[in-house]
């Protein structure tokens, strides 16, 4: 056993910019940097900074990554490597921590900076298949470059060596889905979906999600599938690329032929009925994946969101696609339009636990309190959304959450509240004939383990009602 390190003062950590200052990279990133850092170490430095931002400052992964990469000067493969490395450490954190802890006498006393370095080293050696000597060398080099971690070089070296030797066998004996899933999520999914499904969901979270695209002209799916080296999914026309890729470089991006949208996220907008010429409110619309679908189908869309910055992204996305929609910056709960809509789509703010494959920080940053807080918001927004539909019109409520409190239970509460709505059940033929997506209540529940053989789906709830 390697002896655990004793904690030092907490203010001697890696000097990262405060979140509001933007970039994570700066020359003084490693105070007193000596050692033998080279430009080639930059991606690992950034991955470490991103990991630290997420785990210590509770900053969302995408935001930390953007703040780190944008001013970094890194390009192409290096950028992709930073993302992959930090994402792997987050996705496999439970497993990596268990292996690291098994190699220390007093794992609890490991100081945070050393722990994060070891996590990054372990993610390379055990998650990405980096050859052992390279994982050890680069981790020790990183350690040497900070006055905070340099004194722990011998410890880091010893743990990394042992980890490279014994780690793979330890990993093989681990219960990976369980170790990487926090208790509260595991228990909530067990209660909602049962033990087998829970395990399948958590298993799906161990991998990266594929790249799905929605087409401006769905009738041209065959042609675009060929050009993009993608397959047409049975869910209703989404294309899935096997290999991902750099988005702006893919065929059709510049000409606005498609946009990135998970196949499950593309379902809600298709459940509003015929759209051509109809007045449709897209509530909580930014950055506009569903707005684009509605506009492409010929609806007269009013897209409402309270975040001006995110609405600016919606504008940019629609402009690239050559589509248009009226936009309103407002809190939906207070927004009163001049006349109601034929159809309303409410894509409510939620815990986003259905998108863990794309956002591996979610299990680490969100908790049951967030769900409880969001339930209050969703209840309020849903009640107000009903008032925005004309009698006879349709309301679709959706969340990208696996938590039934945010989905199934919100729709049931609405139906039981005396609101002027009646259920409008969704049939399997409306979701590509995929019976497994439709519940006995006529709602849609997608899970990351659905279409498992084809790369899975994000977890969405979709419910539909008619205004009476």
Ligand X SMILES: C[S@@+](CC[C@H](N)C(=O)[O-])C[C@H]1O[C@@H](n2cnc3c(N)ncnc32)[C@H](O)[C@@H]1O
- Enumerate binding residues for ligand X (CB under 6 A): 284-290, 304-307, 310, 331-333, 347, 349
If the CB atoms of residues 306 and 320 are measured against ligand X, the closer one turns out to be 306
If the CB atoms of residues 114 and 381 are measured against ligand X, the closer one turns out to be 381
State the Cα angle at 92 between 89 and 98, rounded to 5°. 105
Q: Please report how close the Cβ of residue 315 comes to ligand X at its closest, in angstroms.
A: 13
If the CB atoms of residues 271 and 304 are measured against ligand X, the closer one turns out to be 304
Catalytic site residue from 164, 350, 400, 449: 400
Q: Please report how close the Cβ of residue 329 comes to ligand X at its closest, in angstroms.
A: 9
Pick from 44, 62, 51: nearest CA to 16? 51
Nearest residue to the partner ligand X, using Cβ: 284
* Cβ count near 341 (within 10 Å): 26
Euclidean distance between CA atoms 87 and 51, whole angstroms: 8
Pick from 47, 408, 353, 48: nearest CA to 205? 353
Q: Please report how close the Cβ of residue 63 comes to ligand X at its closest, in angstroms.
A: 14
Token pair for residue 61?
A: 């992964």
Beta bridge partners of residue 346, listed in sequence order: 283, 397
Q: Please report how close the Cβ of residue 287 comes to ligand X at its closest, in angstroms.
A: 5
User: What Cα–Cα distance (Å) separates residue 133 from each residue in 130, 136, 163, 164, 230?
Assistant: 8, 5, 11, 8, 38
If the CB atoms of residues 148 and 396 are measured against ligand X, the closer one turns out to be 396
Euclidean distance between CA atoms 385 and 198, whole angstroms: 32
Euclidean distance between CA atoms 177 and 192, whole angstroms: 17
Annotated active-site residue 400? The verdict is yes
Q: Please report how close the Cβ of residue 289 comes to ligand X at its closest, in angstroms.
A: 4
Euclidean distance between CA atoms 425 and 417, whole angstroms: 18
Q: Please report how close the Cβ of residue 435 comes to ligand X at its closest, in angstroms.
A: 25
Report yes or no: 233 and 453 within 8 Å, Cβ to Cβ: no
Report yes or no: 110 and 103 within 8 Å, Cβ to Cβ: no
If the CB atoms of residues 89 and 318 are measured against ligand X, the closer one turns out to be 318
Euclidean distance between CA atoms 448 and 201, whole angstroms: 6
DSSP states of 96-137: HHHHHHHTBS-GGG--HHHHHHHHHHHIIIIIS---HHHHHH
If the CB atoms of residues 319 and 333 are measured against ligand X, the closer one turns out to be 333
Tell me which residues are annotated as active site.
Answer: 400
């Amino acid at each position: 056993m390697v002896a655990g390190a004793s904690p030092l003062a907490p203010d001697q950590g890696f000097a990262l910019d405060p979140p509001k200052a933007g970039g994570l990279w700066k020359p003084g990133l490693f105070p007193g940097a000596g050692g033998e850092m080279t430009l080639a170490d930059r991606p690992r430095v950034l991955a470490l900074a991103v990991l630290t931002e997420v785990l210590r400052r509770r900053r969302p992964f995408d935001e930390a990554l953007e703040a780190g990469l944008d001013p970094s000067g890194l390009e192409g493969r290096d950028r992709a490597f930073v993302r992959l490395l930090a994402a792997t450490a987050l996705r496999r954190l439970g497993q990596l921590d268990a292996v690291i802890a098994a190699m220390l006498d007093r794992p609890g006393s490991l100081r945070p900076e050393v722990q994060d370095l070891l996590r990054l080293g372990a993610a390379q050696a055990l998650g990405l298949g980096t050859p052992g000597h390279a994982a050890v060398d680069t981790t020790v080099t990183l350690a040497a470059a900070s006055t905070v971690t340099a004194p722990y070089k011998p410890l880091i070296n010893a743990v990394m060596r042992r980890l490279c030797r014994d780690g793979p066998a330890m990993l093989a004996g681990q219960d990976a889905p369980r170790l990487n899933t926090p208790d509260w999520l595991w228990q909530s999914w067990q209660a909602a979906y049962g033990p087998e499904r829970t395990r399948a969901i958590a298993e799906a979270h161990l991998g990266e999600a594929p790249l799905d695209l929605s087409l401006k002209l769905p009738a041209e799916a065959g042609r675009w599938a060929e050009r993009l080296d993608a397959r047409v999914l049975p869910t209703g026309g989404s294309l899935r690329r096997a290999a991902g890729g750099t988005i702006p470089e893919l065929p059709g991006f510049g000409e606005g032929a498609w946009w990135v949208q998970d196949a499950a996220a593309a379902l809600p907008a298709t459940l509003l009925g015929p759209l051509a010429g109809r007045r449709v409110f897209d509530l909580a619309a930014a950055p506009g994946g569903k707005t684009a679908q509605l506009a492409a189908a010929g609806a007269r869309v009013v897209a409402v969101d309270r975040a001006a910055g995110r609405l600016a992204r919606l504008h940019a996305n629609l402009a690239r696609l050559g589509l248009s929609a009226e936009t309103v910056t407002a809190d939906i709960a207070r927004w009163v339009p001049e006349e109601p809509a034929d159809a309303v789509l409410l894509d409510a703010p939620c815990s986003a636990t259905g998108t863990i494959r794309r956002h591996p920080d979610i299990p680490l940053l969100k908790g049951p309190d967030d769900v409880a807080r969001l339930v209050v918001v969703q209840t309020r927004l849903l009640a107000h959304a009903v008032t925005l539909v004309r009698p006879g019109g349709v309301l679709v409520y959706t969340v990208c959450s696996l938590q039934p409190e945010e989905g199934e239970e919100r729709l049931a509460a609405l139906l039981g509240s005396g609101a002027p709505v009646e259920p409008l059940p969704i049939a399997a033929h409306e979701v590509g004939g995929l019976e497994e997506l439709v519940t006995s209540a006529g709602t849609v529940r997608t899970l990351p383990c659905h279409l498992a053989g084809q790369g899975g789906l994000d977890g969405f709830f979709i419910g539909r009602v008619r205004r009476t």
